[in-house]
Chain A
């Protein structure tokens, strides 16, 4: 047996005051008796009859000394070395993804994982070192290798479960890569499996132990949520909800839709195991507010996927600026009732601030971060680098599912000349020709951008129905995330919210479901990273008053059945039922328990003596 804190033995000196107090504590009453002869005789006979009576007389003192001995011993933290390993490194990878919020462990899976981690820490040797990695929506080294157990314990206590999809793979990968520098290293994964393919991960010689957290799979969740314009009415909206049950039995579910906590939709469904059910709710587009979808299933283990939110903005005109441009384009845009068109001959980034979407029929200025815009000709520049001219490029194909190309038929369209694309500038081709991309689209610097790699007036496109349809689709796509637009801003929980802010950034504040959320503003771009909780986030200041919703909507997290084993590249680790981390076995807990028992006995003895 060894001791972590041998200096604790110095406290044994407390026995002296205890002894002194015991023998001096009582101011004994003096009683005059005729003779001590018989008292002495009694004591002599006592000694002869029962040598233990003397012991009994000082029982309380003995118990107190024994109690002190136990407490001192516990303080010295004695331990038994259960393995010969003198020095080890331990990497704790704690899964904080949404599925760890399942309540089939107490208080939830993460709580159970933290407890297991604490037990492992308690068994660590004095020279062992430990690292703590949190594998949630973001992978983070919470505590680098340290021998300070208290530091790790504190960090464990601060870890919270998120409502977001996590990546155990990233956490484990980080842990393994950091573990490579250590010779005798063990990576302990405290997770329910994560639902990811880990077979390509290389352990690099490190021992990986998977401590399975959780047992059951009874969970139903909201898998998908979308708010779209009603096909019937321009102003009305439709809410699409998909729910699925992952348990083995069939359950009765209730789906309720609230608009600003007023019930606006209700559906009762019987959910069969692993059979998703989609449903549509009509929403009055003239109203704005927070839509909350609540799934209620008896015995549901994971609350994070039972609620989803959407922000419903009142339908209003979108401010669209046409810089330069031709009369046909202006006419098409003006024809859209959603569009409030402003025409400018030329513009700078400053003059365009506040526009929901900009169509460039003229030179594109610099500094358009966060702005949604479309460049309508290869002649006006844009994010993609365009090079030499290509004659008579043929359209090979287009992404029919892309919002810009919905109901757009480009078959048979002729283009006289296009520009070759050197660098797409972060955009992706949505229309491909035989000489390269013809139309690029994508998100760039906080805004959506569409760029044509040809001049439409060197094609017959304006003569086709496809042209106005594509222009109006572009308006819809560019303004999809705009405040006040008809389409809700829906983010996966944990994903960053990025958008341009016009004014000075000082006043921007973001309030999440649990209070103020950190936000950063750099170069006029607002970034809200901490969106781990499901709920509505409201951004105020910097010229903005917008809200966005973060939802889990993750099949991976809703499917909470824990994996029996992790399949790694070189090693398959089975589930360990108990703490597998070998090392030292500290004895202070049983010693303290014994001391407590002794205190009870001492109290009983004292009480008995007092009332006898």
Chain B
């Protein structure tokens, strides 16, 4: 079990907030821009022949002697796409942490009748679980998350090119470490082009900020196997740390520039604090 039952209970009180109103295909709990037949009153408009007479506002007719039709917000479901970067660079604590956050957000989404799909991405779609709806699908979604294993090189743009197109639009939650030379641009554009609201979770391990290495080393790239002979001292580490910070900021700027949400999280952050404090504060989840 990725998350404990107690934690899941607390998650049930949360909703996954959307920065925009998306279009679903089935009635869900989300309000759509489309006017529909839900209980949420939205507006009036003059009656035109052919309108459903059930929606005529008789009270208004009595006062104004004019026929007006009540318009309601149509409540639609959403597709929440949980996309995990499962390249080798995510191996270990990063993937584990991403998996937990993804499970929590998927659980929240399922609780509000959103459809949740899970995919593991390398330079292709490594794993894919089709959309599920309802709390009852939680375990299936969790299992799908557990089946995501780190292997291969990162190229999310290429992977997303072969990712099944979902009906309607929704939220794409991308969990990645951004450690691919192509950068996030192409991948984010692809997701956004499909009308998704995109939120990026930049997973960073503390050891990546300032590696605990020293002396004359050969660094081996976990994904490519490339090697780099380097002499590391405190000054080198200082420079490396500065490079990481600059790069992370660049990732954030890129994501925000494209219209995606961005949250950077250190894997050392307690999950509880991250979900209930950080994500609430940033408006990703709410009550």
- A residues contacting B by CB (< 8 A) are 26, 28-43, 45-46, 57, 609, 612
Contacts and interface: CB of A to CB of B under 8 A. Distances in A.
A33 B222 contact: yes
A28 B218 contact: yes
A612 B234 contact: yes
Nearest to B231: A57
B244 interface: yes
A609 B215 CA distance: 9
B216 A35 contact: no
Given A40-B228, A612-B234, A31 B222 contact: no
A64 B245 CA distance: 37
A110 B228 CA distance: 66
A22 to B, nearest CB: 11
B66 interface: no
B65 interface: no
Contacts of A26: 216
B273 interface: no
A612 B216 contact: no
Nearest to A30: B218
B166 to A, nearest CB: 30
Contacts of B224: 36
A42 B247 CA distance: 10
Contact of A36 (B205, B219, B233, B235): B219
Nearest to B213: A31
List the 4 closest pairs (A to B, CB-CB), nearest first. A34-B89, A35-B179, A42-B243, A36-B221
B16 to A, nearest CB: 29
Interface string B214-249: 011111111110111111011110011001100100
A28 B205 CA distance: 25
Contacts of A42: 236, 239-240, 243
B243 A38 contact: yes
A29 B217 contact: yes
A28 B217 CA distance: 5
B177 A39 contact: no
A38 B183 CA distance: 12
Contacts of B234: 612
Interface residues of B, number: 38
Contacts of B94: 34
B276 interface: no
A498 B205 CA distance: 102
Contacts of B240: 38-39, 42
Contact of B177 (A28, A29, A34, A36): A34
B49 interface: no
B217 A31 contact: yes
Contacts of A46: 239
B270 interface: no
B208 interface: yes
B163 interface: no
A41 B218 contact: no
B228 A36 contact: yes
Given A36-B226, A40-B228, A57-B231, A31 B243 contact: no
Contacts of A43: 230
Contact of A609 (B181, B213, B233, B243): B233
B235 A32 contact: no
Nearest to A29: B217
A35 B218 contact: no
Given A29-B216, A29-B218, A612-B235, A35 B223 contact: yes
A38 B179 CA distance: 8
B219 A37 contact: no
B55 interface: no
B233 A612 contact: yes
Interface in B187-216: 205, 208, 211, 213, 215-216
A42 B218 CA distance: 16
A30 B243 contact: no
A30 B217 contact: yes
Contacts of A612: 233-235
Contacts of A36: 219, 221, 224, 226, 228
Contacts of A37: 179-181
B94 to A, nearest CB: 8
A37 B240 CA distance: 11
Nearest to B179: A35
B91 interface: yes
A565 B241 CA distance: 76
Contacts of A38: 179, 208, 240, 243-244, 247
Contacts of B213: 31
Given A32-B222, A38-B179, A39-B240, 16 more contacts: A26-B216, A29-B215, A30-B218, A30-B227, A31-B211, A31-B218, A31-B219, A33-B220, A34-B222, A35-B177, A36-B224, A37-B179, A39-B228, A612-B233, A612-B234, A612-B235
